[in-house]
Amino acid sequence: MNDALTVLFALAVVGLVGYLLWRTFDRKPRKQARDSHLLALQKWLAGDLDGAAALLEAVIREQPDAVDPYLQLGDLLRMKGDPRRASALHRGLTVRPDLPLGTRIQVGLSLAEDLIDLKQFAEAGKVLDTLVRHATGEARYWKSRFQQWYGLGELPDAARALKYARTKVPPADLPWFDRAYVAFQLDRALMHALEGETGDAQARLRDVAKLPGAAERTSLVRAILAARGGDVRTALDVASSDLLDHPRELDLFLPFLQEILYSQGQYEKTIPLLERACQGEGAPIRMVVDLAVLYEKLGQRDKAVQLITEKSGNPDLTPAAAVPVLRLLARNSRDPDFRQVWKALSLPAPQKHWVCGVCGMGSPRVRWFCPDCRSFYSFSPAPARGKES
């Protein structure tokens, strides 16, 4: 009996020693994997995407059963412009049976984002459909749903995704969706206005009428609608009452107004609007030069010189900006035929080229939504030519 107990005791001791040795030798690679994972995340945050990806791949080789490194590597590959490999990694995670619900949601959202980058919008929609019960409280879900519908060309559904998200997402995400919805609907309204589709344009304006940040852009679209429709009085009234306090929007509107006024022979009606706009300190120099040129063309040289003098000291009033005025003032004679002179008028060209700061897409006019990379408020004036829409 004693011999049996001795044997059992000896086996227990051997087993314990073996377990401790296994833990000792096993702990080192596991610790190395954890350290590599942490370092990968640090490199990611520091902007070293290549270094982060290499470390995550090493972690996966050491711990093939890990989930977070797979998920993160997929997201990183998509950010690096390789959504195909990203989708392969994320799709592989979807078949794992032991994933907790929260992780399964994040995997599904990542896969949907991969498919959207691959322009597989219908397939992305199917993935998002599987997440409807559990993910509609997440901003990522609605951002993907918007892009998926937009990619399919279903603009009303895309707009509804942004609108409905505002009732579901946490308060911290609400401002983003408010701004996105306003940008998208106003961009649609502007495109309708430029195409002469008055009813559709007005409907989109009504969608955002009460939302913050929409007022001045709504007025811009309304003024363009009126100008395109030949309603000069309404166009001038809207510009005078709503755009004078918003020089950027007024500056965008003036080329449309001048085009309409010239076609109708009512170009002189631009002057009162420009005079009021130029009184403000923030008036764009292009407006000031426009007004000075008009004064000179109407034989009011004293007013032209006084206006330019009043703006002296403005860093934007450079010789290049004032060339149209300088050219006219240097002439000794004037053409008495105002219409003929107007046709040859060297007004500073309005900024007609806009570029998306995210993807580089170019547009001949202002936009508040990029149809290429689906970014909001990403366009800004730029002299270089980009990829035309």
Q: Which pLDDT does position 259 carry in this prediction?
A: 67
* pLDDT tens per residue, range 240-298: 677 766 767 777 777 776 666 666 666 666 777 777 777 766 677 777 888 888 887 77
- Does domain 34-170 match CATH 3.40.50.80? no
* DSSP per-residue string spanning 139-189: HHHHHHHHHHHHHTT-HHHHHHHHHHHTTTS-GGGHHHHHHHHHHHHHHHH
Residue 37 pLDDT > 80:
no
Which sequence spans correspond to the domains of the chain? 34-170, 214-348, 351-389
Q: Are 140 and 108 in contact (CB under 8 A)?
A: no
Which CATH fold would you assign to the domain 214-348?
1.25.40
Residue 349 DSSP code: P
> In this structure, what DSSP letter does residue 333 have?
-
| Lowest mean pLDDT segment, chosen from 131-135, 210-214, 243-247, 275-279 | 243-247
Strands 387-388 and 361-363, sheet pairing: parallel
Higher pLDDT, 372 or 342: 372
The answer to whether residues 268 and 295 touch, using CB atoms and an 8 Å cutoff, is no
pLDDT value of residue 77: 86
**Cα–Cα distance between 43 and 285 in angstroms, integer?**
45
| CA 173 – CA 193 distance, rounded (Å) | 31
**Rounded to an integer, what distance in angstroms lies between the CA atom of residue 71 and that of residue 89?**
7
> Could you give the CA distance from residue 180 to residue 160 in angstroms, rounded to a whole number?
12
pLDDT value of residue 365 = 80
Full-model pTM: 0.71
Mean pLDDT for the stretch of residues 226-239: 78
Helix, strand, coil % (nearest 5) of the chain?
65, 5, 30
Q: Distance (Å, rounded) from C-alpha 110 to C-alpha 127?
A: 10
| Fold agreement (34-170, 214-348) | yes
Tokens of 383: 């002299």
Mapped to the 3 state alphabet, what secondary structure does 68-113 carry?
HHHHHHHHHHHHCCCHHHHHHHHHHHHCCCCCCHHHHHHHHHHHHH
At 74, is the pLDDT very low, low, confident or very high (cuts 50, 70, 90)? Answer: confident
Is 80 exceeded by the pLDDT of residue 168?
Answer: yes
271-274 own/partner pairs: CB under 8 Å, 24+ apart: 271/298, 272/240, 273/236, 273/239, 273/240
Residue 362, strand partner residues: 355, 388
Q: What is the per-residue pLDDT for 233? A: 77
